[in-house]
A and B are shown apart, each in its own frame.
Chain A
Amino acid sequence: MKDVGVVSYGAYVPHFRIVPEEIGKVWGVDGKAMGKGLMISSKSVPAPDEDTITIAVEAARNMMRRCAVDPKDIGALYVGSESHPYAVKPSGTIVAEAIEAAPDLTVADFEFACKAGTAAIQACMGLVGGGLVKYAVAIGADTSQGAPGDALEYSASAGGAAFLIGAQDVIATMDNTYSYTTDTPDFWRREGQRYPRHGGRFTGEPAYFRHVMSGGKGLLERTGMSPEDYTYAVFHQPNGKFPTRVAKQLGFSPEQTKAGLLVPQIGNTYSGAVPLGLAAVLDEAEPGDRIFAVAYGSGAGSDAFDITVTDEMATFRRDASPTMNELMASPKYIDYATYAKFKGKIAKERD
């Protein structure tokens, strides 16, 4: 098994935002208090011409701009999302064509609620590590759905990040990964249904906390590492409260989680959440830094990663694509009516 790691990465977040007060105003809820409770001050909103595919393409192109890899050397491309635009017809084929990696590669779409992107990273690690492909691309991207008036509407947002996994010239080695998976029905969307359903408080202790804690502890036990050995830690962030609490329970400090905690500014990007958090960390990480990351997907499972930034980072062309800070800067804020129109929540005669 070869040593594998991240050769390049790219991120993308839509330009538009809505604040919780604007949502609460419509549904008779104290939006400000809701936002404070969730630790979300705004969430990203995709434009009407954006979907998981366009977000995945933009992230993948930002990834390719930062490296000199020939796209024809990419042997696998996986897009993880719970909002693939087609029920049948892969998102990945369009992404592969758009970065000129087609046709000599394998492509598939992944789904595991919010951790489909990290499941794709693990599959890429296996293919590259086993020597089956030279490079593999894993993307986590979503335009997540929250039913009008539901608590999810305050957090469900859009964004995504792409990672080029390889064995040479890696800016960060993927040293270990561990997953923890059970059958836990905390959140789901049935085929053909427009909006997901969730188990309310059941999404907390038996779902998010059990799986993220077990995934995190399982990785620490297997690697013999301690929380203080890491410079950064990234956790799945459905809101600001959950990752803050789980980090504390596992023994990580706010300083370690600060760089990768994006949910207060952009909301819950679902499959994009940990990939975007990792992208934000890689935007500022220095050679030798250690990164701990745990993604969570409802249904339920967690993927934990132990990552080390290499000397290659010193010469990596970060500035060839926008950083997370640049992507999040100067958004355009919209009102609820515009948001409802953008998200297709208004029934129209032409639909």
Chain B
Amino acid sequence: MATAPRYWRENPSRYNMVGFKCNNCGKYYFPPRIICPLCHRKSVGKTEPVKLKGTGAIFSFTEVHEGMDEHYVQKPYIVAMVELEEGAKVTGQVIDCDACDLSIGTKVRATLRKLSEEGSAGVIHYGYKFVPVRENGERPGDE
């Protein structure tokens, strides 16, 4: 048991997409890191947690047919690499759409959904997933 504390520590990132900015090179990363993977020790003392907007575009995506146990009710489900407006790339589920509605470049935004549950009596984990953005009131797949 007790994965609750581990998830709890990551709640700011999972709920509100709190990432990390390196003020040495100006790049954004998600999830937060201790040091910048490009600047290494030059970034020490020059990084800060930053809330990312949660909006971006699909960089690449796939439809998963044999996936994680906790998602078997949602099979097949879509997982995408999303390039956020700030430049960081984030992997997450894309929901409320079919794979045929999406393409590389489709605009998405982060929303909060259940990620998993520790059985029917355990804690429920919430976090970001992505939904296609409505443009002019419509979203991909609308007829």
Contacts and interface: CB of A to CB of B under 8 A. Distances in A.
Interface in B104-143: 111-115, 120, 124, 126, 129, 134, 137-139, 141-143
B73 A50 contact: no
Interface string A33-66: 0000000000000011111011001100100000
Contacts of B73: 48, 341-342
B16 interface: yes
A351 B74 contact: no
A50 B120 contact: no
A49 B16 contact: no
B11 A322 contact: no
A68 interface: no
B13 to A, nearest CB: 12
Interface string A93-125: 010011010000000000000000000000000
A57 B128 CA distance: 12
B100 to A, nearest CB: 13
Contact of A98 (B69, B112, B138, B142): B112
A98 B14 CA distance: 9
Contact of B142 (A48, A51, A330, A351): A330
Contacts of A54: 111-114, 126
A296 B49 CA distance: 45
A98 B15 contact: yes
A326 B113 contact: no
A54 B117 CA distance: 14
A85 B124 contact: yes
Contacts of A322: 134, 137
Interface residues of B, number: 26
Given A100-B16, A341-B73, A350-B69, A47 B96 contact: yes
Given A97-B11, A329-B142, A51 B134 contact: no
Interface string A63-104: 000000000000000000000011000000010011010000
A49 B129 CA distance: 10
Interface string A320-344: 0010001001101000000001100
A15 interface: yes
Given A54-B126, A97-B15, A341-B73, A49 B138 contact: no
Contacts of B16: 97-98, 100
Contacts of B99: none
B129 A351 contact: no
A259 B81 CA distance: 40
A50 B113 contact: yes
Contact of B126 (A94, A330, A351): A94
A283 B11 CA distance: 33
Interface string B1-37: 0000000000100011000000000000000000000
Contacts of B141: 330
A107 B15 CA distance: 18
Given A322-B134, A350-B72, A53 B126 contact: yes
A94 B142 CA distance: 31
Contacts of A51: 114, 124
Contacts of B11: 97
Contacts of B115: 49
B4 to A, nearest CB: 11
Contact of B95 (A47, A98, A326): A47
Contacts of B111: 54, 58
A15 B137 CA distance: 14
Contact of A326 (B124, B137, B143): B137
Nearest to A86: B124
Contacts of A342: 73
B124 A15 contact: no
Nearest to B124: A85
A291 to B, nearest CB: 24
A286 B72 CA distance: 47
Contact of B134 (A58, A326, A350): A326
Nearest to B18: A100
Contact of B114 (A50, A58, A61, A326): A50
Interface string B85-100: 0000000000110000
13 contacts: A15-B96, A47-B74, A47-B95, A49-B129, A53-B126, A54-B111, A57-B112, A58-B112, A86-B124, A98-B16, A322-B137, A329-B137, A332-B96
Given A51-B124, A54-B111, A94-B15, 10 more contacts: A47-B96, A48-B74, A57-B126, A58-B111, A85-B124, A86-B124, A98-B16, A330-B138, A330-B139, A330-B143
